[in-house]
Amino acid sequence: MTQTESTAVRLKVSPEIARIVKPGAPRDVQIAAARGALPLAGKDLLTVLFFLCRSSDAEIKKAAIKTVREIPETILTLVLKDNTLHPQLLDLLVRARMTDAELMGVIVMHPAATLKTLLYLAGKASSVVLERLAGHQNLLFQYPELVEAIITNPAAEKTLKYKLGWQEPVQMSLADSDQNVAKDGESDADENPKGSKERSQAEIESLMEEAEKSGLSKYQIAMDLTVSEKIKMGLTGDKEWRTIMMKQSNKLIQGAVMKNPRISDGEVLMVAKSKTASDDLIRIILLNKEWLKNYELKKALLVHPKTPPPKALRFVGFMTTKDIKVLAKSKQLTNIVANAIRKELQMRLKKSGG
C-alpha cells in the first residue's frame, strides 16, 4: 500500500509548470498561480501549489495553502485516481485537507502514500478519519506502527482503541499488581507497558536474548511488548511466539499470527477447531486456498459456528459418508448446515441402495 520513503524530492514537471515555479519566475504569475487563477489541470495545479506552498514569499505561500484547502473535492478525487502521483503531493493534501474524511479515505489506499504520511494522518486526524484508517486491517498488519499512532491520537474514540487492543489504565497498589501477575502467571498482555517506547525488530531480538539469559520465559518477555511489537512477533515469530500471540485478545495480533509464513497446517486447524475463534480468523482461513485443501480443516470449518452458512455448505459434498453419518446426528450445527447434511446423507443412501 505504501512505498519506501526517499530523502530527495524529485518531481518531473512540464515546461509550463517549470516556468511558473522556477527561481526568478515573474512574481505576478506566481501570485496568480497561488490563487488558482491560471488555467491549470488538476494534477498540474496541485503540483504548482506544492512548490508555491514552500515559497519564501509569505504572500505567495499563504495564497497557495489557502487554494489547496479550497480545491473542490471532485477535482481532487479525479487527481487521486492517478497511481503515479508523487508521494509529496499526497502528503500536502493530508496536511491541508485532513478534515475531509472522504478524501483521506482515498489517500489511505493510494499506492503512493508513504508510511510517514500515514503516520502523520494517524496521529493528527479526527475520529471519523481514524475509523476509516483502522478499517484497513491489511494496512495495520503491514505497518503495526499505525496502531500505536491511532491509539495515542487524542481524537481516537475509546471504542476504536479497544478494538485495536488498548485497555484503560487501572490504578492499583503495588501489592495488587504483584497478586495479579502471580495469579496463574498471567497479566494483561494486551496493554502497552507504561512508559514503553517503540522498539525495532533488532531491539526486540536483543531484548529476547537478554531475557532468555536471565531465565525469563517468552511469555514474560511478551508482557513488556507494545501492541505493534506483538503484531511484529505474530508475523515473524516461531511456534512458541505464535502460540503466545494467538492467546492475545487483540484481533490484529491474532490476525498477524495467521499471516506468519511459518504457521503450520496443524496450527491453522487448531484455530478452526476452537469455538472461540473470531469471525476475522475464520475469514482469514476461508480466503486461503492452500489451507482449504486439507480435509480436516474443511470438516472443522463446516461445523464452526462462525463460518458463514454459504461457505460452510460448500464443504458438505467433500465429507466422507462416515463423517456425514456422524454429523447428521450432531445437535451443535446450525439449522441450515444440519438440513444440508441430512439431505446429503439421504441422497448418498439412496444412491448406494442403503
246-303: per-residue pLDDT in tens?
Answer: 988 888 999 999 999 999 999 999 999 998 898 889 999 999 999 999 999 999 999 9
Mean pLDDT value across residues 224-231: 86
Distance from C-alpha of 93 to C-alpha of 214, rounded to nearest angstrom? 49
Question: pTM for this structure?
Answer: 0.56
Show me where the domains of the chain are located.
15-136
For residue 97, the model assigns a pLDDT of 92
Whole-number average pLDDT of the chain: 83
For residue 264, the model assigns a pLDDT of 94
For residue 199, the model assigns a pLDDT of 65
E strand segments, the chain: none
Q: For residue 49, give the nearest of 77, 99, 11, 82 by alpha carbon.
A: 11
Q: Is the pLDDT of residue 232 over 50?
A: yes
Q: Is the pLDDT of residue 94 over 80?
A: yes
For residue 302, the model assigns a pLDDT of 94
* CA angle (41 as vertex; 37, 43 as ends), nearest 5: 115
26-40: per-residue pLDDT in tens?
Answer: 999 999 999 999 999
Cα of first residue to Cα of last residue in the chain, in angstroms, is 56
158-179: per-residue pLDDT in tens?
Answer: 888 887 777 665 444 434 434 4
Least confident of 101-105, 112-116, 221-225, 281-285: 221-225
Mean pLDDT value across residues 312-337: 91
Q: Is the pLDDT of residue 2 over 60?
A: no
Q: For residue 77, give the nearest of 97, 57, 61, 95 by alpha carbon.
A: 97
Distance from C-alpha of 173 to C-alpha of 176, rounded to nearest angstrom? 5
